[in-house]
Structure 1
Amino acid sequence: MDAPPTAPLTAEQQEIRRTLRDLLAERAGPQENRAATATPQGYDPELWARMSGALGLAGLALPEEYGGVGCGPAELALACEETGRALAPSPLLATSVLAAPLLTALGTPEQRAELLPRLADGTLTCALAVPGGSLALALGLTGDNAAEAWSGGGRAGGVQARAVDGGWRLYGEAAQVVDGHSAGLLLVAAHTGGFARSRTLLFLVRAEDDGTPGLSRTRQPTLDLTRTQATVQFRDTPAELLGEEPADVLGALAATGRGAAVMLAAEAVGAAREALDRTVAHVGSREQFGRPVGSFQAVKHRLADLYVQVEAARSLTHCAAREPGPGPDSGPLALAHALEALRATAGESIQLHGGIGFTWEHEAHLFFKRAASDELLFGPVRRLRARAAERTGLFGEVAA
């Protein structure tokens, strides 16, 4: 069941939603997703090829001059809502939402011309690696992303970059790297320079071949099987500086974070709506005391409350996606509402499915794990809201 959109969809947007939903219904059902997560990549390469090739999903928001479709954030958010509905494991988040905007904003003309067309056609995937499991902070979602707060410079650890013979070498470790074990290109935030001239820059590490010197990647066990993560270690690993100095790396990361928050919110809204629809269908067919469980007033009230919560999150997300440029707070606030709605809906779904909802074989727990995993990676919700409150001056002045 589809709720009416907050604003009418264009014919192009309707076609994106219809074709993607049909493809995911065919190739990304619960059983197909379980099989995909068990592959070395953690996703179905054939499905990704169809999403990228026939649908142009990987390059949906990339400029046409680089082989992209040239659509805006509203169309990409619509696609993310559908992949979230299916809980489809794919490189879309890591490649198209996190990495591609940084390559577009900071890359040299030569780097953009070489890499963006391959990202657009899906033949190359990319992962953003930041040290210390501090992705939310690096993107400016949960606090000021000043480099000293998360980059681990100097003796604090993190990833260090050293200039050697006209090139760069990386040393250190980054954990919780989304799709880090399978991406053909790594976009690494590394600390460079001494204490007096310390700065954080972004570097490209080519990882399509297993023989990249000094690079070690280990897939991590994760709560959400559909959102693969890895620990990436660098030991004298050759790297290429993204763009040219000086570059506003922190500003680009914050801008990417604002856009990524909208796409993550869209994913969460799609997942929440699917969990709610599945629950409504279940209580309508399951009988107790000679009547459907869904006919009891207490159950109706619980489902009605969830519907209101999901639709409120959906409205916030669609409004944020349609803004010409997401404001500093609209994306994170939409994400906070969407994650909260998904967690509440997934939790009630498990309860209202009865005993079967607690089993591994049933898909109800997958929605709850997506909510919990995303909050660990990009939240928590209270910090997303607290950061927005600080920026608006409710708790005093903070740095922009």
Structure 2
Amino acid sequence: MDAALTAEQDEIRRTLREALTRHSGPDDVKAAVRTPAGHNGALWAALAGRLGLPGLALPERHGGAGCGTVELALAAEELGRSLAPTPLLATAGLAAPVLLAHGTPRQQADHLPRIAAGELTATLAVPGTALATALGLTGDNRGDWAGGGRTGGVQARAAGGGWRLYGQADQVLDGHTAQLLIVAAHTGGYARSRTLLFLVRGDAPGLVRVRRTALDETRPRARLELRDVEGELCGDEGGGSGGGPGHGVGAVLATVGDRAAALLAAEAVGAADHALARTVTHVKEREQFGRPIGSFQAVKHRLADVYVGVQAARSAAYYAAWAAEAAEAAGAGTGAAAGPGGGGAGERVGGLALAQGLEALRRAAAEAVQLHGGIGFTWEHDVHLYFKRAAGDELLFGPVHRLRAYAAERAGLFARTGARTGASAGTGAREGVEPPERGEPTVRVTGAGV
């Protein structure tokens, strides 16, 4: 892995930063979130149509630029710096990769060129509040998060040669404006229980879309109610969660989730870096006892800790983006987790990078509020937007400890043991505790409460 950016990547960063500096200042962001769409349509038209952001990581055969996840992470970092609300994450980070990995050739030809050209926005809709679970970030997504045949979730039934969907999804990113929805729905009842993906038009009859009030207004989301809505099966029916190994919906969503986590981590790094820069500027200007407060050793130490956290998060984010890109290039992007000590092109580290990024942003935003003093607590100042982004993203995609716990579980860091009696376990062993084998770590999970 070469950590240095290429000239093309530097140009992407410079161009985006200039455009966002001109058109997405703090006042522009506050005005954009109050619009019905929740984002600045003119800014999105410029980013999507003129700069081609949605097609940045799409193959050239589908009208994209042919770049990769690293370039898309650069764009996400710059958007994070300004907290500019756009449909980029939903369209290019979630929906487009799902179509690319799971859609039929006809579906890809119909939708991906329009996404790349900025003519179509799309998003992924999963039932209830299970977005992080469906993306395989905080737990195994092979369960019944899509409804499991019970009341609730989103259900699909075959009817008249097509499919009809009914149910509800509560945390759909940009779901109130997306022109194309990729909806995960349960079908087959108990006998052939599985999760399939369906394409639903944003203006389909029976679809009710309501923008939700959220802690972080710069991350607009919606509640979708599907009332006998017509849907088109995404991919072939054999590609459901009951399909062949590596081709199920769970595997596809886990791979897409790892890539999306890398983009979210880069976005969090951009936000944390900007919050830190704003705070450093303020402490250099704010005086107390006749000197800038930034000259106090305690303030220096606090900001130094924030700086170290941001740099560590940046390294993790770009490594995760590189790993996701390498997995795709090597044909390893099947959703299979790397084994203990695994590495290389097949590893999934997006969840860990996201945990690092969210932690860095939370600390940077908290210090920004504290060190800005009284003004940092006011609505008029924009520091509170960064604090809300940190809290909102952790609620939606975390929390941090669950991201790390699941990564540790997948890596096999903690070996689970069955109950054994003291006599069978050996001399001095307590009931239900197995002594470590030679060469094994001594940390073991023996109870559900750990």
**Residue identity matched to 2:318:** H
Q: Distance in 1 between matches of 2:90 and 2:359?
A: 22
For 1:40 and 1:280, locate their aligned partners in 2 and report how far apart those are by CA, in whole Å.
35
Amino acid at match of 2:187: T
Task: Look up the match of 2:271.
Answer: 271
Q: Does 1:313 align with 2:332?
A: no
Partner of 2:179 in structure 1? 184
Q: Say whether the 8 Å CA contact 1:282–1:353 is kept in structure 2.
A: yes
Distance (Å, rounded) in 1 between the aligned partners of 2:143 and 2:121: 26
Match of residue 159 from structure 2: 164
The residue identity in structure 1 corresponding to 2:312 is A
AA aligned opposite 1:253: L
Question: What is the distance in 2 between the residues matched to 1:201 and 1:183?
Answer: 20
Alpha-carbon distance in 1 for matches of 2:201, 2:143? 24
Q: Aligned equivalents of 2:255 and 2:157: distance in 1?
A: 27
Which residue identity is paired with 1:363?
A: D
| Structure possessing the higher radius of gyration over alpha carbons | 2
Alpha-carbon distance in 1 for matches of 2:416, 2:49 = 47
Please give the secondary structure, in 2, of the residue aligned with 1:188: strand
Superposition pairs of residues 219-368 of structure 1, within 5 angstroms: 219-247=211-239, 248-323=248-323, 324-325=326-327, 327-368=346-387
1:153 and 2:172 are equivalent in the alignment: no
Helix, strand or coil at the partner of 2:56 = coil
Cα pair 2:320 2:348 within 8 Å, conserved? no
**What secondary structure is seen at the aligned counterpart in 1 of 2:53?**
coil
- Asked whether the 8 Å contact 1:60–1:71 carries over to 2, the reply is yes
Match of 1:27 in 2: 23
- What's the CA shift for 1:327? 4.8
Q: Report how many residues are paired.
A: 390
In 2, the alpha carbon distance for the partners of 1:338 and 1:239 equals 36
Displacement of 1:123 in angstroms is 1.2
Q: Shift in Å at residue 147 of structure 1?
A: 3.3
Q: Which residue of 1 aligns with 2:398?
A: 379
Query: What SS does the corresponding residue of 1:277 show, helix, strand or coil?
Result: helix
Larger RCO of the pair (alpha carbons < 8 Å, separation 6+): 1
What whole-Å deviation, never above 9, does each CA across 1:199-247 have from its counterpart, x for those lacking one? 100001111x3xx211101000000011001110011101100011211
Report the Cα distance in structure 1 between the residues aligned to 2:91 and 2:162, rounded to whole angstroms.
25
How far does residue 332 in structure 1 lie from its aligned partner after superposition? 0.6
Indicate if the aligned counterparts of 1:94 and 1:126 stay in contact, CA closer than 8 A: yes
Q: 1:55: Cα distance to partner? A: 1.2
Q: How many angstroms apart in 1 are the aligned matches of 2:82 and 2:186?
A: 38
C-alpha contact (below 8 Å) 1:41/1:181 kept by paired residues: yes
Which residue does the alignment assign to 1:129?
125
State whether residues 80 and 263 of structure 1, in contact with CA within 8 Å, keep that contact through their aligned partners in structure 2: yes
- Report SS of the residue matched to 1:128: strand
Looking at structure 2, the residues matched to 384 and 144 of structure 1 have their Cα atoms a distance apart, in angstroms, of 12
1:3 maps to what in 2? none
Aligned to 1:36, which of 32, 39, 46?
Answer: 32
1:111 and 2:107 are equivalent in the alignment: yes
Q: Alignment partner for residue 140 of structure 1, among 136, 139, 145?
A: 136
Report the CA distance shift for 1:328/1:377 in structure 2 as closer, same or farther (over 3 A).
farther
Residue 392 of structure 1: how far off its partner (Å): 1.3
CA distance in 1 between partners of 2:415 and 2:83 (Å): 39
- Is 1:60 aligned with 2:52? no
Q: Percent identity at matched positions?
A: 65
Give, in angstroms, the shift of residue 67 of structure 1.
0.8
Shift in Å, 1:336: 0.3
Query: Could you tell me how far 1:395 is from its partner in structure 2?
Result: 2.1
The root-mean-square deviation of aligned C-alpha atoms, in Å, is: 1.4
CA shift, 1:34, in A, is: 1.0
Deviates more, 1:327-336 or 1:341-350: 327-336
Q: Structure 1's 125 and 358: CA in aligned 2 closer, same or farther, altered over 3 A?
A: same
Partner SS state of residue 145, structure 1 = coil
- How far residue 270 of structure 1 moved from its aligned partner, in angstroms, is 0.4
Partner of 1:7: 3
| 1:370 match | 389
Tell me how far apart the structure 1 counterparts of residues 232 and 181 of structure 2 sit (CA, whole Å). 10
User: Could you say what secondary structure the match of 1:163 adopts?
Assistant: strand
Query: Does the aligned pair in 2 maintain the 1:313–1:334 contact within 8 Å?
Result: yes
How many angstroms apart in 2 are the aligned matches of 1:183 and 1:355?
Answer: 39
List runs of 5+ in structure 1 lacking aligned partners.
1-5
Structure 2 equivalent of residue 205 of structure 1: 200
Separation in structure 2 between the aligned mates of residue 189 and residue 328 of structure 1, nearest angstrom: 25
Alpha-carbon distance in structure 2 between the residues aligned to 1:130 and 1:328: 25
1:153·1:159 contact (CA, 8 Å) conserved in 2?
A: no
One-letter code aligned to 1:298: A
Contact 1:224 1:369 in 2 (8 A): yes
CA contact (8 A) 1:147 1:199 kept: no
